[in-house]
Structures are given as structure tokens and as C-alpha cells.
Amino acid sequence: MVDPVQKHPFPDALGADRSPAPHPLLAPVLGLLGTWAGRGRGGYPTLDAEFTYAQEVTFSHDGRPFLHYEARAWLLDAQDAPLRPSARESGWWRLQPEGHVEALITQPTGIAEILTGRAEGGSVDLATAQVARTPTAKEVSATRRRYTLTDGDTLDFVHDLAAVDRPLQHHLAARLLRTGAN
Ligand code: HEM
């Protein structure tokens, strides 16, 4: 017999003023904590046309010096109606002294990104140090992500991609609005 275990006693917090208190190293990214949703546009030279999408993003923490990150996108038609599920990813942003960030992000398309960068003055700039791919994944060689808090409740996101033998260039740009906590 195995004794039943209680619900996880240390749930994640979605806001800086919630319990547990954020680790001091999270100071440069406290503004990201919470849930976000918004729309974006994307494209790539290999694609026939640009696309429009919507996305939900969550940043949370459990008192230790890392963020849990989760994002789910879906494509929109010309009337903004949902077309189909699109990219999703989750990962961990490990905060280091002076706003240095080490991030690990994985996608169900068989891509695992290790990124490094800085969080400073309400923006985070991350670029891949390594990309690992499962045997059947598309050839992705680098990405760069920039998140900018334009005010406390607006988060702009741009994503550049080097893939399928193309150099690093624009793939996505979105504006997300706060939907919960902080
Ligand atoms: C909000 C997030 C994202 C959205 C909405 C998105 C959307 C799309 C769409 C619509 C396509 C065209 C193929 C299709 O219809 O599925 C595509 C292609 C692609 N995306 Fe993304 N994407 C996102 C994030 C990413 C990320 C994070 C990566 C890589 C780390 C990535 C890498 C690629 C690659 C490699 C292709 C294929 C290019 C080709 O073979 O021509 N995407 N994306």
C-alpha cells in the first residue's frame, strides 16, 4: 500500500505580491509574472503567406530563482476566428546575478532551445546558445526573442528564426495584454 499524498503544498505564484515571495534574483523579471493574451502576425520566406495568430502566455515562480514559462498559440482567420492549434512551448528561465538569464524551452515539434541573455529595464533579450532537435524535427539553427514591457500591462514580443537553411530573420511579432495577477 502507498499512502495517498497531499496536493502539492508549494503552488506556483503568478504575482510579485503573492505567496511565496519571489527570490531576489527575479527582480528584473517581476513585471512578467502573471497571465497574458494577445494577437500577433508571423511569416517566413519559405511560407506562401503571412499568418495571424493569438497566444496565451504564463510566467510563474515557486520562490526559487527561476520562472516557469508556458505559451500556447492558435491561428486566426481574416475575421479573427480560431483556425487551428499552432505553436506551444514551455520551459524555465533561470535568473542569474545582474539580470543574466539562462533559459530552457522545448516545443512539441522536436526542438529544445537553450538561450542566454539579459533582463534589464523591463525588457528581456534572449538568443539561442544551443538548439537540439529530435531526428524528425525541422532544421532550426537559432532563434532570438525579445520581450518588452511597454507598460505594466502590455508585453510586446518579437521572435527571429534561423531555420531550413535561412539566416536569422523575422518570424513573429505580437502584443500581449495582461489577463491575470502580478
Ligand atoms: C507563437 C508562436 C508561433 C507561431 C504562431 C508559429 C506559426 C507558424 C506557422 C503558421 C508556420 C507555417 C507552417 C504551419 O502552418 O504550421 C510556421 C512555420 C515554422 N515555424 Fe513557427 N510559429 C511559432 C513559433 C515558432 C518557434 C518558437 C519556432 C522555432 C523554435 C518556429 C519554427 C518554425 C519553423 C522551422 C517553421 C517551418 C518553416 C519551413 O519549413 O518553411 N516557430 N510557424
Which ipTM did the prediction report?
A: 0.97
Element (H, E) at 176: strand 169-180
Atom of ligand 1 nearest to the CA of 53: 5
170 assigned binding-site residue: no
Q: In this predicted model, what pLDDT tens digit does every residue of 111-155 receive, in sequence order?
A: 999 999 999 999 999 999 999 999 999 999 999 999 999 998 999
Task: For the domain covering 24-180, report its CATH number.
Answer: 2.40.128.20
Distance CA 18, CA 77 (A): 38
Residue 2: band (very low, low, confident or very high) from pLDDT cuts 50, 70, 90:
confident
Report which DSSP code applies to 171: E
Ligand 1 — pocket residues by CB below 6 A?
42, 44, 46-47, 51, 53, 55, 73, 75, 86-87, 107, 111, 138, 140, 143, 161, 163-164, 171-172
Distance CA 104, CA 69 (A): 9
Q: What 3-state class would DSSP assign to 41?
A: strand
Q: What is the mean pLDDT of residues 82-97?
A: 98
7 assigned binding-site residue: no
* Amino acid 12: pLDDT: 97
Residue found under cell 514559462: 69
Residues 6+ apart with CB under 8 A from 146: 123, 124, 125, 126, 157, 158, 159
For residue 133, how far is its CA from the centre of ligand 1 (angstroms)?
Answer: 15
For residue 171, how far is its CA from the centre of ligand 1 (angstroms)?
Answer: 7
Distance CA 148, CA 171 (A): 17
Q: In this predicted model, what pLDDT tens digit does every residue of 22-79 receive, in sequence order?
A: 999 999 999 999 999 999 999 999 999 999 999 999 999 999 999 999 999 999 999 9
Task: Record the cell numbers describing residue 92, joined without a space.
Answer: 524555465
